[in-house]
Structure 1
């Protein structure tokens, strides 16, 4: 974060500068084909995932290494989640859900490194993942169930007079899913990183520098927890939406 002395001798904080997408190789224009800092850190996340899940587990040792242990724990954790939420029918979609979780959690954790960029703090990135889930489960719902998929919006257990109103509410909430799905992740990651940068700016003021360092440490620890929780929340919501597509009945 940049801190500049203004005319009155105070400090000006720019905590949002860390979220600016910049070209890697000169110039200011960003086109769809331009390699940017966002591109770089997404590639690094993919490299990290590959290193842990492919290279780290390639030996298949009986006594696993650290990377193999983490890979096996992540695999078992997401597999159990998919099976518990969606049932046996949803296990075939486990690879896609596992990919989502690993990409999000690696992007979140890499974004905590000094001078790093957090791709998941941008709504453009999270919206692509959220809308991909939305369209995939919607298409799957109609393919698997045909017109019966519309039963998702019809609350048959409610009194008949209330069913049309509840159906309208269910339809609205269904189409809002990708918006809330994407904003929740991007908003949490952006807010946490911005607060850390603000506290880092206050560290330049000698009188409150020790308190600022304590606050940064506490916020950093909280962000580590939030980084995992937000990946978990995004993933489990994906499982819930998949369950609705496979079993669209109230």
Structure 2
């Protein structure tokens, strides 16, 4: 099994080297070109309504989730299929995360958090396929995800607790003279949350793909000596697989932490 995984990874790396290699010999590598938003139809002009490569790969991510969670577990059995096993594992993993981090009263928000995790992790993994487009490498996509989480949690806090939700910013255990200063710090840190979520996800995914592009460019430019950077690509590609999951996990668990603050706004 280990040898099979190694050969599959090596094959993917070789394909990546051919696909992402520069058009002309030399080291004219442009690692950021892979993030360019391009219209699928109608020339190079991109408007707000134009179907782009971002749109395409977002729909592919949704389609992959549908196939895995809906079609893969449609014929449920005592002995689960591979797709059913993955679906059940993902379900149990996220459910336990929500329950452990945010509490049992947060379980009612589980469907949204599960959807959020599955979209991010699927988009991340699809972005590792050669010739694909990584939607989560764009701040416009991760920014919307982060803002939706921020707004939803803030509204939830005020709906459940009213003005008492502002107690989240008042550190009652601190000395009275320090409380206004700490309150200001808490307010700033609260409004930085969506920025942190957005930049952390997109920045890590973008940086990893850019490095892969650079090494793949070296492999394409060196010709017969391309095996040298290919070893580096193999190791980094494995790391990117891990990062693709970890970043989805971090985004989701931070959402659970923020949800806990909305459900129990006290220090």
TM-score between both structures, scaled by the size of structure 1? 0.96
1:207 Cα deviation from its structure 2 partner:
6.6
Deviations 1:56-76 (A, max 9, x none): 111111100000000000000
1:91 and 2:110 aligned: no
Counterpart of 1:105 (choices 113, 121, 143) is 121
1:3 and 2:22 aligned: yes
Mapped partners of 1:136, 1:103: distance in 2: 18
1:206 Cα deviation from its structure 2 partner:
3.6
1:162 and 2:183 aligned: no
1:161 Cα deviation from its structure 2 partner:
1.1
Counterpart of 1:199 (choices 215, 223, 230) is 215
Paired residues of 1:4 and 1:11 also in contact (CA < 8 A):
no
Alignment-derived partner of residue 53 in structure 1: 69
Deviations 1:26-79 (A, max 9, x none): 400111111111111100000000001000111111100000000000000000
1:229 and 2:246 aligned: yes
Aligned-residue RMSD, C-alpha: 1.1
Alignment-derived partner of residue 242 in structure 1: 259
Alignment-derived partner of residue 232 in structure 2: 215
1:183 and 2:199 aligned: yes
Paired residues of 1:79 and 1:91 also in contact (CA < 8 A):
yes
Q: 2:28 is paired with a residue of what secondary structure?
A: strand
1:10 Cα deviation from its structure 2 partner:
3.8
1:149 and 2:168 aligned: no
Mapped partners of 2:46, 2:257: distance in 1: 36
Q: 1:149 is paired with a residue of what secondary structure?
A: helix
Mapped partners of 2:186, 2:53: distance in 1: 39
Q: Which runs of 5+ in 2 are unaligned?
A: 1-19
1:160 Cα deviation from its structure 2 partner:
1.1
Q: Which runs of 5+ in 1 are unaligned?
A: none
Mapped partners of 2:223, 2:69: distance in 1: 45
Q: 2:80 is paired with a residue of what secondary structure?
A: coil
Paired residues of 1:202 and 1:208 also in contact (CA < 8 A):
no
Mapped partners of 2:57, 2:78: distance in 1: 33
Q: 2:177 is paired with a residue of what secondary structure?
A: helix
